Amino acid sequence: MFTELEQTLRQRLDEGLYRRRQVLEGPQSVEVTVNGRQLINFCGNDYLGLASHPVVVEAMQRGAARYGVGGGASHLVCGHMTPHHSLEEELADFVGRERALLFSTGYQANLGVLGVLCRRGNWVAEDRLNHASLLDGARLAGARLKRYPHGDVGELARWMAQHQGVSVIATDAVFSMDGDMAPLGELARLARERGTWLYVDDAHGFGVLGRQGRGTLDLLGLGQSQVPAYMATLGKAMGVFGAFVAGPQPLIENLIQQARTYIFTTALPPAVAEACRASLRLLQEEDWRLVHLRKLIHRFRSGAASLGLPLMPSDTPIQPIVIGDNQKTLEISRKLWKRGLWIAAIRPPTVPVGSARLRITLSAAHSEAQLDRLLEALAGVL
């Protein structure tokens, strides 16, 4: 009965696609312990170093003491509590939208939004490098999925001119494995011309781009009228957990009424919402985090260029180095591990075949000395 499953696992191992979990023995940080080994972490998404911030931790502890540890039910039964409601209002105000709606994960948010905005049998146009949750959202909604070439608005426009019934254009704002940004201004103009929804997933831009980390849309000066449907996560730069969708009143109310991943899911623990509120306040009060992070990005790119390392065009904390071969990428990752640096080897299907890479990520919690150690190690193994 298990023979086929065992063969599949052996094949993944032979192709360099097998994944192994590492167990951290302490909190998320840029300095972690795995199996007793001290490592500098350059592969997480805690871009601002807030996952273990004492103010955020204390807010969660106080929230648990006051509101308990469980949401108890879905939001539409009895699970919608004061911390959830306050967080939604604060997030909406922060990103300049009429309303915001909490979801348990970004994956659930994308499934829920596309399930509401897509008409069965209509088209959803998505960037070829979109996150899997956006692709799955279109498929589960029963839509026909068009994957246009990465960032190619001209090709998308030509295709849309020949096809009727396009419900949504959906895209990542910052692409999680490349670190580059979508041409959101051009996409917004195209969506407006065609009378089509534009839905933007800003999981990797929220917290690190724009004024005080308000996100990619703020950086580009795009408001609710240009991008009516916006999603961001709370477990990356914010350092906690969850996600939210922000937009006009009719959109949010329809999500409350129709989005299955909202209706049929237990609400986030209220203490998590309290921790997110604390993190949001820190985002607005401690500007030095973004300043330092941007300096680190510049320092890394300058140092990598001087070493002749093949960087991709990214001004975000995501700084990939494409190796290509799966086994070679794994071997380089292991060499860095031995030098005390944790950089994950990213392989298909997370990235296209032949583009396995080291996905280096920077955090405001990294020091310049740690960054220089990274550059020195990369020079020694590449």
pLDDT (average), residues 100-123: 95
| 112-168 residue pLDDT tens | 999 999 988 899 999 999 999 999 999 999 999 999 999 999 999 999 999 999 999
Residues 318 and 171 in one domain: no
In a domain, 142, yes or no: yes
In a domain, 126, yes or no: yes
Q: Is a pLDDT exceeding 80 seen at residue 1? A: no
Determine the pLDDT at residue 283: 95
Residues 150 and 299 in one domain: no
In a domain, 377, yes or no: yes
DSSP secondary structure, 254-297, as one string: HHHHH-HHHHTSBPPPHHHHHHHHHHHHHHHH-THHHHHHHHHH
Residues 92 and 197 in one domain: yes
Buried b (16+ CB within 10 A) or exposed e, 358-371: bbbbbbbbbeeebb
In a domain, 10, yes or no: no
| 9-30 residue pLDDT tens | 999 988 888 889 999 999 999 9
Residues 114 and 25 in one domain: no
| 212-265 residue pLDDT tens | 999 999 999 999 999 999 999 999 999 999 999 999 999 999 999 999 999 999
In a domain, 134, yes or no: yes
Residues 102 and 34 in one domain: no
Return d(Cα 365, Cα 343) in angstroms, integer.
Answer: 16
Determine the pLDDT at residue 2: 82
Residues 346 and 208 in one domain: no
Residues 63 and 198 in one domain: yes
Residues 168 and 35 in one domain: no
Residues 183 and 268 in one domain: yes
Domain that holds residue 30: 18-47+287-381
- The residue among 59, 47, 57, 28 whose CA lies nearest residue 238 is 47
Domain boundary among 267, 285, 303: 285
Residues 332 and 183 in one domain: no
Domain boundary among 238, 257, 285: 285
Quote the mean pLDDT of the chain. Answer: 96
Residues 172 and 298 in one domain: no
Domain boundary among 254, 285, 316: 285
- Look at the chain and report how many structural domains it folds into: 2
In a domain, 220, yes or no: yes
164's CB contacts (< 8 A; 6+ apart) are none
- The residue among 87, 55, 52 whose CA lies nearest residue 71 is 87
Q: What is the CATH number of the domain that holds 85?
A: 3.40.640.10
In a domain, 112, yes or no: yes
DSSP secondary structure, 45-87, as one string: S-TTS-TT-HHHHHHHHHHHHHH-S---SBIIIII--HHHHHH
Residues 97 and 184 in one domain: yes
The proportion of the chain whose per-residue pLDDT surpasses 90, expressed as a percent, equals: 94
What pTM value is reported for the model? 0.95
Determine the pLDDT at residue 382: 85
Question: What is the rounded end-to-end Cα distance, in angstroms, of the chain?
Answer: 43
Q: What is the CATH number of the domain that holds 29?
A: 3.90.1150.10
